[in-house]
Structures are given as structure tokens and as C-alpha cells.
Structure 1
């Protein structure tokens, strides 16, 4: 039974500032215990039972006083009070029931004593409740004793129906107050729980597991501890809400710092954490951009690109700027207030040089994936990558590498070009025609389009070229010709992607659309385009759009007349047009222009009627 005098025990989702100070909660419970002791001394009925209640309450009172001493010890470790708060709720209820029952036994008036309904069964029930409180308090003191005893895996009565919560409490308490090895073990145990299911992840986050994990990650005195912490955070960061909690707990500055100044084995895992956070949260993308995480990622990706490589000679100054990035990073690590000294920087450099090739490859794969996820849909991160000369590094790796690293670099380029397509400032800054980095990227895209046997590389390369359509001059035949050739590709998805990219050259939004349309026709793009109209819906859609653009901007072409494009448009698939209503007006415009040139008379403009 809860009285009006009981403290309000907050829900676990409240912030620390909103919660009652734990010392105040414990002080109230101690006062409540003293009131019960006084009531026991005044009892007139069931004196033996009341005395037993008093003994049990005395035990609880001593435990509460011990908890106050631990909470106010000022030992330097953060006192983790969440389990104590939750247990205090039940202890409060049980002590209030004890006070109510014992007071009923102190009635002096005979009539009140006669009508008082108290039985031995009431005391038996109360004993069980107080015993549970003793066990709960004993358990919580065992996990809050400064960590000397290590992780506690026994279950308190309060957690009998949900043991996961008590385990999470124990592990987080060890992270806060345990010895270093206890913290490592606790982080690994949280990782195991997080891997089981999303409910466990949510419990870990809600019970305050992120701050001590971030603190453990920041502690560069132990490689094992950093790996344990970042692995746990990685397994928690697979939802937007949990990533947001990492951000709120100021985890991103720590992550960026650790990425820049840690050994490779840690950097690999931190890069993976960056990738998964950026994947699930646009907010994380923005915050990582503000912290400029792209700079250390590009630096790690390019640490063994040497200046004697022919690819780098395309732009010597560009490579020198990459080397400058490395120098600037090391300079930043030496600045006042930096936690990393010159000896650590030197050790990390030597560690990178002597590391096994497979470890170096794993680090590059992780960094490239992180850049991919950061750039995806983000103009800010795409701009940051290009400002750190990341384009040249990505182009180099696309040329020389294979497998997952090559694919991750290609997908990063694809996202940057998509951002450039949507943002004119980025497009003009990063993909100027005289830029060595831009030229290197375009060269590799064209190489993949013409030479790659893998559609998972060829298709992104075609799409990236299409995103850059507005950056190429009118007679850039080395760009358009390979795209037109892909219209005849045996893989219909490749051919459809080529039609989609060519559509960006030929669309009215492109200032040079007329010149590009003439070039597409000149490179004999019409016949394979007509064959594409017999393919699947995706191929038909983009083939039909491109054909309309050719009719709009190059309707005078004899090639269009000889191919009877006007008849083709008139017989376009009605079902496709019904599914894509925007095609109706486009087809009408194209048919009008074709009629103007091919019939010799000015026709009356009519809407296309499928």
C-alpha cells in the first residue's frame, strides 16, 4: 500500500536531471524503517510477529545505510543507481505495508482491538515480501560495491520474471565501477546479449549502457577494452532510435577521435560503427559531417598510395594534397589538449607499415563502406570527401582493387555523383572538367562500363556517368559512345540503365540536350533502343523516355524517320503509359515534333490518346 508520503520513483525513461536524487530516496526509506521500529516497540497485539517484522526491517535499514555510503563515497567512479532506484520502488511498497500492519497491532482501545482484522497469514505474507526486499538489497549492494567482486550473475527476486534486466544492470554497473578486466568482460557480455535480439538491445540502451561504453572506448590505455566497447556499440547501432541515443550521449566526437589515433584493429571496428550509424540515421550523417569524420577515413584509405604510381601522376598536386592530409592529422594529434602524443602517432604509423596485408585490406574495406554510407543521400558528406581529395583515392582503388573494396569504393563514387547531380555547387566544385580527380573518376567509370564483366560494377558506373551528364561538353564522344554501346548489352538491366543515363544527357534540363541527342543518333543508338522497348517494364520505360527526348530534340533526323519512330510512339504500350501518367504528355510532344519534320506540314497539336 503506497501512502502520500512516499517519494515518487521515476520511470526509467526519465533523464537524470528529472529524477529524485538517489540519496533523498534512500534517506526517506531509512526514516520509514525507523518509524516501523517505533511502531514495533508500541505493538500490543502479535508482539512476537511484530518483533520479527522489526528484525527484518532492521536488516533492510542497515543495507539502505550501506547503499547511502556507497552512493556518496566519492571514489571517482560514477555510481550506477538505476537498479537501486528500481528496487527502491518495491522496498518502499513493502515497508509501507509493514508500517500499516504493525500500527494495527498497537491499538489501545479495547473496541478497536476487537474489530481489528489482523491474522497470522497477514504476517506470513509480509515476511515473504520483506525477505524479497532483503534479497534485492543484498543483490544490488553486491553489484554496487565498487566492482571488487566482478560481474554478479545471480538473480534478485525483482528480476525473477525477466532475468535479462538484472544481467544488464550487473554488466553496466561493472562498466561504471569495475576494474578494467571486469569492464572488458561486461562489454563482451552486453555484446552477446545484443546479438540475441532487438529487445535486449533496447533494454541495454534504456538502462544507460551507452555512456559507459563510450567512456571505455575513449580509454586508449587498453586495446582489448576499446575493441570490446566498440563491438558492443556496433551491435546496438542498428536502429535510428538507438543511434540517436549514441549521438545524444556525445558518442560521435569520441568515435571520430578514436578513429584517428588508434591501432588498426580498433580502427577497423570503429569504421564499421561509423558505417552502421550512418546507414540507419541521417542525423548521424550530419553529425559525422560536422566532426569531419571523412578526413581520417580518407587518410586511412589512402595511407599506402605511393607517388610513383602512374595513376597518381595524373595530378601530382592532388596526391601531394593527400599526403598533406596525413601531415595535418598528425599535427592535430600534437596540438595542445590532444590526448595522443608523438610517440603514439609514431607507433601507430609503424604498426600500419608492419601490419599484415589482410588486416590492411580489412581496414580499407571498412573505411570505404563507411564513406559509402556517409555519402548516401548526403551533400554535406559528399562535399567533405571531395574536399579531402577522396575522389582521387577512390578512383585509384577502383582501378587497382577487386572484390568488396572495389565495390565499396565504386558505390561511394556513385553516391557522390548522385549528390552532385542534385547540388549544382558541389557539381561545379568537384567535377570541373580540368580537375585531375574528376578526370580520374570518369576514366575509371568508363573503363568499368567498357571492360567490367560484373553487372554490380558496370551498372553503378553507368548510373554515375548519368548523374554527371550536365558536366560534359557537347562533343564529349568518349562519354556518350560507350553508353550508347551498352544499349545493345545482353543483360537487359545494363541496357536499361544505359537508356536511363542517356536520358539525363537528352532531357530538357540539360542545356546541351540537342547536341547530345544528335550524338546518340550519330552513334547508332536508335536500333538498340527500339529493341529495348520489347524488354521488361523497366527497360521499356527508360527506352520510351529516351526515344521521346530524341524525337523532341532531334526530330529532323533521318535515322528517326527510317526507324519509323513516330509509328513506334503511336503503338506504345498502353499499360505502361497507364502506370506512368507522365509519359502521356511526353509522347504527345515527341509525336508533334516528329510530325513537323516528317510530314512536311504543320500538324495540329493533339494530346496523345492511348
Structure 2
């Protein structure tokens, strides 16, 4: 079954509805003029008459309905039109003909049998269509199977569900949305059908039903199931869904907010256009506010938001301050499990919004989100703590490539930066969170002053970690301290050596390919900056680099050049006999 919108989707619905009625009238006249196969033509006429009555009944419905779901109408009417055209061609051949055409018959009884079967199927389709629209949804969802969808029951179900979202009362719409949610959860093909058949718009409309939390949860959960790919997340955004989602999120009770924030996170995760659209709708600020709820610095954080941009804060406050005050009162009595679930999902949404996005990372730092994230990392455990740490890792990744963000958010005298660094250092020995903590520290390597032993010491210690991935991550982070692009690379290199980083690096040269690579890079940096170090001589780094030139390096020209530089500096000091 082709779910793409064909040519019939471009035609006005009035034209599609009128054509088969005109065809049925012409067939009726032609049947009366038939000279051969009169019995068969009469049977065709009866079926066409019945079909004509159904077509006219549906027109009467469309004249009284302000709007209706037209996807199944277009598909069924197109099929009915095709079958009526076949009927018209066949009965025309049964009118008076020449002597020659009477001898050479071009019509057979088999042609009529095939046509009658097609007309029967069209009658079944119209009967199904009328059952969907005639009751106005008063009796719930119709899940019978029209002939046009006999090979694909899911298509008929989707049509029935979406039609009910347009026509039925709210209680039925909730049931219908849950049915679509179940279908969308089953497999991606069902998701494709729901989206292709126009399911997004009525779900977004249901999400706006702020009088019914159950309706909002059903709609947002269904949209969440649909948004697991870039294309479908983008379609929700293109249907102007982001403003609706954000508005519903801000105004809703906590259990609805949990469902909606999951949708926000998934769309931001899968589609960068949606990621940016949510930022334009100022969703980051309420996320940070909810994350900081019932914390010591909550008032300070909210006050800080207002200081960023007075006009923007005015707009934000006028639209949501009364809502937030109501929500605060309501959520005081909410179970702690719900509050934790909301915070966990808000942190996940911030992570997805910050991932690979410099502008969103900057907004989070503007809202004093770093302080909030650091405090939660300090006091919480589990998924909430992990999500906050991953958000910080994304912000530090953006800061690594953007000097302005680095200087603004992570300047040495910043309370937020100090709080973040303290928590990253505390997490480094934690086996579950070591790698993102180390990576975050490495991303900030250019922000630390010379001889920063408090930072480098724990990283060097992790070079000997039992997990080679942790050791490799530490070597990568220390490489950012010692690389020539770091203004303080020489001072940091000396500190790495002072903390006995050479020996574990030499051991890492016997590890896997990735481990060898990053250990070799860091050893080259140390040789380039502190080639006269006794630790490098005693560890026989020169011999290791010379061997690596033939083994580990392979065809990597950049690494080969780096090894040559390292060997040069070691030889230079070795020949001069200068060792410290």
C-alpha cells in the first residue's frame, strides 16, 4: 500500500466527491440504451444505483459538517471513480453496434463478473465510510474492515482512529489516542502510516486540551512514539507543533509535564531543527526552573533568569508567572517519586537540547543552569545525576570550541565554574561516571591556570585504571592540557611528569590500538615540551617512540610527524647531555 499523497491529494475535495456522482448518472442512462448483455447491464445498473445513493448521502453529510477528515474519503472516492469509469466503458460497448462488431464480440460475461465484483467492493467501501462519519462518533470507534484495506487492516484502523480524533467527544478521543499510541509503539511501519495519513495535527490539537490531563498524556505519549526518527520529529515541528508542546508543558500539572518533557527530549535528540525550534520557544528556562525546584538556590536562579534580558524576561514572566505560581502550590503535595521523575526527564531534555548545539549551551549557562546542575550532581544519584553530568559534558564540549563561551561560563573566579569543577573532580573516582567527568575536564583544559595540580593529579591517576577505556579517556584529556594549542602546555606537561604520568603511559603502549594512539600522542607532547626530563629518559621513551615510528603509526601522516618531533626533542637533549 502506498502511503504517499498522490495526485488525488492535491485536488479539491469537492471535485473528488462530485465526479463519481456524475459518472453514476451517465452509467444509468447508458444502461437503459444497452442492446446486448441486457441482464448483466441491468445488474450493473442496480449496483450503480445503490452506490449513487451512498455517494449522495455522503455529500449531504459534507454539506452539514464544518470540516472532516478527508484521507479515507480521497482514497475511497478515487477507487470508486476508477470502478465507475470501467463500468461506463463496458456498458457503452453494449449499445447498438455495426454488423461486423456483432460478429466479433469485444464484451464477455467474464468482464461483467469482474466489474460486478469491483462495484460490490466499492459499495462495501462506501458503507464503511458512511459508518465512520454518519454517527458523528457518538458510538465510539468503528474498527470494521473496508474492502480497500482488506490486505492492510492497520490502514483501516488508523483511518478510523484519526477520524474519531476529528469527530468524537473528548472521552472517545482519549481512548482513540491510546489506540494510536499502541499501534505506534508496535513498529515503525505503523508510525509511517499514522504520520502519512495525517495523524499529527489532531494529536497536537488534543494536546491543547488543558482541561483533561488524560487527553494531554495520551496525545504526548503517542507523539513521543512517533518521534523516534529525524523525519517524523521534523514533521511534528513542521506542523507547528513546537509552540503547542511548549505552551502545554508550561501550563500543565506535573504528570502531564513528565509526559511532554519526554517528547521534547526525543524530538531534540533526533532532529536538530526541532532542537533549535524548542530553544526559540524558550523551553530551556522553564526546564531549568523545574530542575531547580525545591533547591536551596531556587530563588537565586529564578532571579538570575530575570537579569539576563529584561524585555525577554518580561515577556516570559507575563505568559507564565501566574501558571508557575499555581503549579508550585499544586506540586508541594505531589509524591516525591513524581517530582524526581520530572526532574530526571527535565535534565534529560536539557542534555538533548545542549548536545552539539552551542547556542542552547549558552542559554543554559545564561539561566545559571550550571549552578543547578552542579548542585544536583552533588546531592543526587542515579539517572538524574547522570543526566545532569551529561548536560555539563555537552556544555563543556561547546565551550572547548568556542572561546567566548569558555571565558563567559568557565572563568576561574566564577562560582558556577568552581561548583562544576568540584563535582567533576569528585566524580572522577566513581566508576559509573568517570568517563564523562574526565571528558568534561579535558574539554576545559584551556581554562585552567599553570601548575593546576588539583586537576591534573586525578587525571594522571586514572591512567592506571583497570578499565582501559578510562585510561584512554584520561590520556585524551591530558593531551588537551599538553597539546601545543594550549598556551600553558609546557607547564601542564611538567605537572603530568611530576605526578608520575610517564610510566603508566608506557604501559598503555601495549594496549589496544586506540589506547596506544592516545598514549603515544601524549608522550610526544611531553617529549616536545619537557624533553630534558629524567623521567622520560629513565622510562626509555625515546626507544618507545622510535619503535612506534614503525609499528603503531602506520599510515597516519599527522601522527608520524608528531613522533618525529618527539624523537627530535629527545635526541636534542640526549646529545647535549641535559637532563632534569
**CA shift digits 1:82-129 (9 cap, x unpaired):** 111111122112111221222223216566555444444433332221
1:87 to 76, 79, 84: 76
Deviation at 1:163, TM superposition (A): 0.9
Q: For residue 116 of structure 2, what is the aligned residue in structure 1?
A: 127
Moved more, 587-596 or 514-523: 514-523
Q: For residue 443 of structure 2, what is the aligned residue in structure 1?
A: 467
Moved more, 397-406 or 182-191: 182-191
Deviation at 1:487, TM superposition (A): 2.1
Does the C-alpha gap of structure 1 residues 401 and 16 become closer, same or farther in structure 2, counting only changes over 3 Å? farther
User: Is contact 1:292-1:384 (8 Å) kept?
Assistant: no
Q: For residue 260 of structure 1, what is the aligned residue in structure 2?
A: 250
State yes or no: 1:383 paired with 2:362.
yes
Does the C-alpha gap of structure 1 residues 14 and 129 become closer, same or farther in structure 2, counting only changes over 3 Å? closer
State yes or no: 1:482 paired with 2:471.
no
Q: For residue 430 of structure 1, what is the aligned residue in structure 2?
A: 409
Q: For residue 175 of structure 1, what is the aligned residue in structure 2?
A: 165
**CA shift digits 1:134-181 (9 cap, x unpaired):** 110111122233322321111011111111111111111111222112
Deviation at 1:596, TM superposition (A): 1.4
User: Is contact 1:506-1:550 (8 Å) kept?
Assistant: yes
How many angstroms apart in 1 are the aligned matches of 2:356 and 2:114? 61
How many angstroms apart in 2 are the aligned matches of 1:573 and 1:468? 31
1:13 to 4, 28, 32: 4
How many angstroms apart in 2 are the aligned matches of 1:94 and 1:479? 78
Q: For residue 569 of structure 2, what is the aligned residue in structure 1?
A: 593
How many angstroms apart in 2 are the aligned matches of 1:460 and 1:481? 17
How many angstroms apart in 1 are the aligned matches of 2:109 and 2:511? 86
Q: For residue 606 of structure 1, what is the aligned residue in structure 2?
A: none
**CA shift digits 1:237-296 (9 cap, x unpaired):** 111111111111111111111221111111111111112112222222222222232112
1:56 to 43, 47, 54: 47
- 5 Å matches for 1:319-358? 320-321=303-304, 335=318, 342=322, 345-358=324-337
**CA shift digits 1:504-546 (9 cap, x unpaired):** 0000111111111112122222222222223333322211111
2:130 to 141, 148, 164: 141
How many angstroms apart in 2 are the aligned matches of 1:108 and 1:524? 106
How many angstroms apart in 2 are the aligned matches of 1:294 and 1:331? 16
How many angstroms apart in 2 are the aligned matches of 1:585 and 1:121? 82
- RMSD, aligned α-carbons: 2.6
How many angstroms apart in 2 are the aligned matches of 1:401 and 1:72? 60
Unaligned runs of 5+ in 2: none
State yes or no: 1:392 paired with 2:371.
yes
| TM-score, reference length from structure 2 | 0.93
Q: For residue 239 of structure 2, what is the aligned residue in structure 1?
A: 249
Deviation at 1:366, TM superposition (A): 0.9
Unaligned runs of 5+ in 1: 1-10, 603-610
How many angstroms apart in 1 are the aligned matches of 2:379 and 2:314? 30
**CA shift digits 1:290-347 (9 cap, x unpaired):** 223211211111111124xxxx9xxx9657426889x999975774xx6x894x5544
**CA shift digits 1:194-215 (9 cap, x unpaired):** 1211111111111111111111
State yes or no: 1:458 paired with 2:434.
yes
How many angstroms apart in 1 are the aligned matches of 2:346 and 2:109? 69
User: Is contact 1:330-1:345 (8 Å) kept?
Assistant: no
How many angstroms apart in 2 are the aligned matches of 1:333 and 1:510? 40
SS in 2 for 1:130: helix
1:35 to 26, 43, 54: 26
Deviation at 1:16, TM superposition (A): 10
Q: For residue 218 of structure 1, what is the aligned residue in structure 2?
A: 208
State yes or no: 1:288 paired with 2:271.
no
| TM-score, reference length from structure 1 | 0.88
Q: For residue 398 of structure 2, what is the aligned residue in structure 1?
A: 419
Q: Give every structure 1 segment of 4 or more consecutive aligned residues whose post-TM-superposition deviation is greater than 6 Å.
A: 15-18, 327-331
How many angstroms apart in 2 are the aligned matches of 1:373 and 1:516? 33
SS in 1 for 2:554: helix
Q: For residue 467 of structure 2, what is the aligned residue in structure 1?
A: 491
Does the C-alpha gap of structure 1 residues 470 and 346 become closer, same or farther in structure 2, counting only changes over 3 Å? closer
How many angstroms apart in 1 are the aligned matches of 2:93 and 2:162? 42
User: Is contact 1:23-1:71 (8 Å) kept?
Assistant: no
How many angstroms apart in 1 are the aligned matches of 2:272 and 2:112? 58
**CA shift digits 1:459-501 (9 cap, x unpaired):** 1111100000011111322112222222233333222211110
Q: For residue 5 of structure 1, what is the aligned residue in structure 2?
A: none
Does the C-alpha gap of structure 1 residues 96 and 18 become closer, same or farther in structure 2, counting only changes over 3 Å? closer
State yes or no: 1:447 paired with 2:426.
yes
How many angstroms apart in 2 are the aligned matches of 1:408 and 1:597? 48
Does the C-alpha gap of structure 1 residues 503 and 492 become closer, same or farther in structure 2, counting only changes over 3 Å? same
- 5 Å matches for 1:519-534? 519-534=495-510
Q: For residue 232 of structure 1, what is the aligned residue in structure 2?
A: 222
How many angstroms apart in 2 are the aligned matches of 1:142 and 1:330? 52
User: Is contact 1:318-1:436 (8 Å) kept?
Assistant: no
